[in-house]
Amino acid sequence: MRFSLSQVVWQGLKGNVGWRPQWPAAEPKRAYEVVIVGAGGHGLATAYYLAKEHGITDVAVVERGWLGGGNTGRNTTIIRSNYLYDESARLYDHAVKLWEGLSQELNYNVMFSQRGVMMLAHNVHDTQSFQRHIYANKLNGVDNVWLTPEEAKDYCPPLNIDPSARYPVLGAALQRRGGTARHDAVAWGYARGAAQRGVDIIQNCPVISIARGADGRIKGVETGRGFIGAKKVAVVVAGATTTVMETAGVTLPLQSHPLQALVSEPVKPVFPCVVMSNAVHAYISQSDKGELVIGSGTDQYVSYVSRGGLHIIEHTIAAINELFPIFSRMRMLRSWGGTVDVTPDRSPIIGLTPVPGLYVNCGWGTGGFKATPGSGHVFAHTIARGEPHDINAPYTIDRFKAGRLIDEAAAAAVAH
């Protein structure tokens, strides 16, 4: 069923009893050409582009829990591409360009809103580093402009630009093409698009191990619902990557950390854009439901608990209250955590592994949501052709051996 205004009116007149499930609950077949492990945004996007761009429809997406229930459903939905290095700018801007047409392409409203992402500079280092980013972005065709404190306040009226503030605002970098999207809708839209093209989405089906034949090639995956054969297996499981890949004998330079976010009670529209502050480590936007969506930093230690310490949230809220004093008496509704997999250079790994037929897309750390369409697009290309797309060619596992890092961690202007 194609969604449209006339469908909404027609179904409404019929009492809304004609809507059908958007994708079937598939039972696992004995074997597939490609098995994708993990039905988050990246995995579902991969399946969608495999079917649409490469004609590979004999695909299963297997998921331990429910579709989009991991980090896809837990992030703060910020989208931007103002990264320093050429490799990053290409990858993330590829994603932003896909975001711009995604609702139309999927016939699914992902509520992509280019309301602008503003990153605040609080000290001389921030100012210099952001201006360097702005020039680097311009060279890569990524929009990013410098705002004075007054211009920043114009763009985001709740901002406190008093020079005597605890965190004085010396200026800001604004990417107008940045913004937010509805995270669940992204997973649902890709799931529907993939299922329409013949992809099986199998939920409540944990992958226990990856099976390899005597020749070392991939045979399939052992799951909670039996063995599923596959010529190619693609692992897209974020925080659980280490444990899944170990079963295939592949060690990756990843560490899993808790990352938290929280939302306030809903209020009327008050906050027109996304604001990030790396120096105080807080980011904030307002959802269409009216809740302020606030993101924190990671806990310092390795953990799979998806919880995180309360002091991390306290620190974030303290900073938010200094930057936006009008929010000081708002109540927070709920907070939650997820498990993110972080690489040493804070850039993802997208591509081949030492095991023939096994592919991995991981290491997105704290900033994978924004890349969802681009990540799925280039990863599908990698799986279909057996070699990386031009854009993800630098994102190999081998870069840690070669020393050719994409060191956005050292670039330090992003809270990722």
Distance (Å, whole) CA 146 – CA 127? 9
Closest separation in Å from C-beta 403 to another protein: 8
Alpha carbons within 13 A on the beta-carbon side of 385: 14
Q: How far is the CB of 91 from another protein (least distance, A)?
A: 20
Near another protein by CB under 8 A: residue from 217, 300, 386, 404: 300
Name the packing angle between helices 41-54 and 183-196 (round to 10°): 30
Name residue 359's beta-bridge partners: 234, 352
123 or 251, CB closer to another protein?
A: 251
Residue closer to another protein (CB basis): 170 or 250: 250
- Residue 302 CB, shortest distance to another protein, in Å, is 5
| Residue 301 touches another protein, criterion: CB under 8 A | yes
194's tokens: 């993939």
| Shortest distance in whole angstroms from residue 317 CB to another protein | 16
What is the rounded CA–CA span in Å between residue 243 and residue 216?
19
| Residue 304 lies near another protein (rule: CB under 8 A) | yes
Please check whether residue 46 is in contact with residue 376, taking contact to mean a CB–CB distance below 8 angstroms. yes
Cβ neighbors of 226 (< 8 A, separation 6 or more) are 28
Minimum CB–partner distance for residue 36 and another protein (Å): 21
Asked if 242 is part of the footprint of another protein (rule: CB under 8 A), the reply reads: yes
For residues 245-274, which are near another protein according to CB under 8 A?
251-256
- Of 28-36, 227-235, 300-308, 323-331, the window that binds another protein (rule: CB under 8 A) is 300-308
CB 175 within 8 A of CB 144: yes
Q: Interface with another protein includes 353 (CB under 8 A)?
A: no
Q: Is 206 in the site for another protein (CB under 8 A)?
A: no
Work out which of 1, 208, 305, 326 binds another protein, going by CB under 8 A. 305
Decide: is 310 part of the binding site for another protein (CB under 8 A).
yes
Q: Which amino acid makes up residue 396?
A: T
Comparing CB distances to another protein, the nearer of 148 and 251 is: 251
β partners of residue 260? 337
Q: Which residues contact 136 (CB under 8 A, 6 or more apart)?
A: 84, 85, 89
Instruction: Report the nearest approach of another protein to the CB of residue 307 (Å).
Output: 7
Whether 287 and 263 have beta carbons less than 8 Å apart is answered as: yes
DSSP secondary-structure letter at 326?
G
Give the count of residues interacting with another protein (CB under 8 A): 24
- Asked whether position 243 contacts another protein by CB under 8 A, the answer is yes
38: left (phi over 0), alpha (psi -120 to 50) or beta: left
Binding mask 311-340 for another protein (x = CB under 8 A): x-----------------------------
Q: Is 309 in the site for another protein (CB under 8 A)?
A: yes
CB of 291 or CB of 345, closer to another protein: 345
Residue 303 interacting with another protein (CB under 8 A):
yes
Question: Between 246 and 390, whose beta carbon lies closer to another protein?
Answer: 246
**Continuous segment of H or E residues that includes residue 272:** none
Q: Are 119 and 136 in contact (CB under 8 A)?
A: no
Nearer to another protein, 192 or 399 (CB): 399
Residue 394, Ramachandran bin (φ over 0: left; ψ between -120 and 50: alpha; else beta):
alpha
Q: How far is the CB of 244 from another protein (least distance, A)?
A: 10
Closest CA to 26 of 52, 3, 47: 47
Residues in contact with another protein by the rule CB under 8 A: 240, 242-243, 251-256, 300-305, 307, 309-311, 344, 400-403
